[in-house]
Amino acid sequence: MSYQHLLERFLTYVKVNTRSNPNSKTTPTTQSQVEFALDVLKPEMEAIGLKDVHYLYDNGYLVGTLPATSKELTHKIGFIAHMDTADFNAEGVRPQVVQYTGGDIVLGESDCVLSPLDFPALNGYIGQTLITTDGTTLLGADDKAGIAEIMTAMAYLAKHPEIPHGEIRVGFGPDEEIGIGADKFDVADFDVDFAYTVDGGPLGELQYETFSAAGLELTFLGRNVHPGTAKDQMINALQLAVDFHNQLPEVERPELTDGYQGFFHLLSLEGTVEEAKSIYIIRDFEDNDFKKRKELVKTIAAEMNANFDTERIKVNLYDQYYNMKKIIEKDMTPVVIAEKVMKDLGIKPIIEPIRGGTDGSKISFMGIPTPNLFAGGENMHGRYEFVSLETMQKAVDVIIGIVKESSVQRRTT
């Protein structure tokens, strides 16, 4: 198997700042994502042999097709990755390539050190080629590793038409990191039987369970008077925010939970005595527990409001996405195929729930079952992010293996 241009692609992609912006009202939320799609990815997709490469201005997706090698192979599968990066400095990314022999890795000329004492997973990468940051930015392996892997796999398949496969659709989308990238996903345009997001972490990850997710925005309205005469008159909006937060279960925070445990996560708290605002995300796997969490925040707000003659706590609670297990477990074909391919390649599948979400969460509910494959990134969303080239190569192998295996299964059913 040739991995020609895999590293080169990845290094090119990560140097482009495509950070999304949660405060923007455009689609995509940053113009840099549009330019990355049209100026970098689209010409390359056409050059490697993808057909009907088109950019959808309504939703920010760049889509291309690798035609079927036989008219008899009528099944269609897809591979999806996102173009944006998370809310950490993404300007001036200077990746460094390290032949890792163990111990600490100094990140560029910064004071930052990537150490196995802090990140024990490093010990599993001795002898491998790692791509890290220079300590001043994130890397962007989430999810430009996925883009590079899909591109490399498609380039290989285009050069090897003797490998039988049905139609393969590729989609690169925006704004996944801020949870809105798949809101406008065009199922009819993508038109596949099932798909995979290539957006996971370490080698072997295969995920079809995600959190169900809600966003919570609370506005606290106070009444400001001079603190010297405040008794029985002042209503401190910031104190209301603190009082609300203290009524949430103390141990149900991200830093104290794992596995199937859900949480309330306070993202921001700002304001004055007169007005304050808190933003939370709410996460859980089970429908009933998810419902209870949402009911709890409404109950707390209602009980606090009952102490005043006017509404002081305003609640904006909204669902973001749901656990895609409910869709995928109806037909486990894409999971079964990926699991078999990994085992055939000597990769141990790690089938665990995602303590987060992927674009596949929403796309699955739109009608295309879309589990998630590993892309290789570790310590994502910050200066200590890194990825193994060898893991990226294995991700390419898995993508190609899925293409082959899906054709085999369709021919035998």
Q: What's this model's pTM, rounded to 2 decimal places?
A: 0.91
Contacts of 258 (CB under 8 A, 6+ apart): 355
Model pLDDT for residues 284-343, shown as the tens digit of each residue: 999 999 999 999 999 999 999 999 999 999 999 999 999 999 999 999 999 999 999 999
Given a cut of 70, whether residue 412 has pLDDT beyond it is no
According to DSSP, residue 354 is labeled B
Given a cut of 50, whether residue 413 has pLDDT beyond it is no
Over residues 365-376, mean pLDDT: 97
Given a cut of 90, whether residue 98 has pLDDT beyond it is yes
Question: How many Cα atoms occupy the beta-carbon half-sphere of 136 within 13 Å?
Answer: 11
Q: pLDDT class for 31, splitting at 50, 70, 90?
A: very high
The span from the CA of 390 to the CA of 387, in Å, is 9
Over residues 78-88, mean pLDDT: 97
**Residues marked as binding for Zn(2+)?**
82, 142, 177, 199, 381
Contacts of 413 (CB under 8 A, 6+ apart): none
Chain centroid, CA 41 distance in Å? 19
Residue corresponding to tokens 């405060």: 23
Over residues 263-284, mean pLDDT: 97
Model pLDDT for residues 156-204, shown as the tens digit of each residue: 999 999 999 999 999 999 999 998 999 999 999 999 999 999 999 999 9
The predicted structure's pLDDT at residue 83: 98
Given a cut of 50, whether residue 360 has pLDDT beyond it is yes
The neighbouring-strand residues paired with 321 are: 213
Given a cut of 50, whether residue 411 has pLDDT beyond it is no
Lowest mean pLDDT among 30-39, 113-122, 273-282, 352-361: 352-361
Model pLDDT for residues 316-332, shown as the tens digit of each residue: 999 999 999 999 999 99
The predicted structure's pLDDT at residue 358: 87
Given a cut of 90, whether residue 410 has pLDDT beyond it is no
The neighbouring-strand residues paired with 212 are: 284
According to DSSP, residue 223 is labeled B
Which positions are annotated as active-site residues?
Answer: 84, 176
Q: pLDDT class for 357, splitting at 50, 70, 90?
A: confident
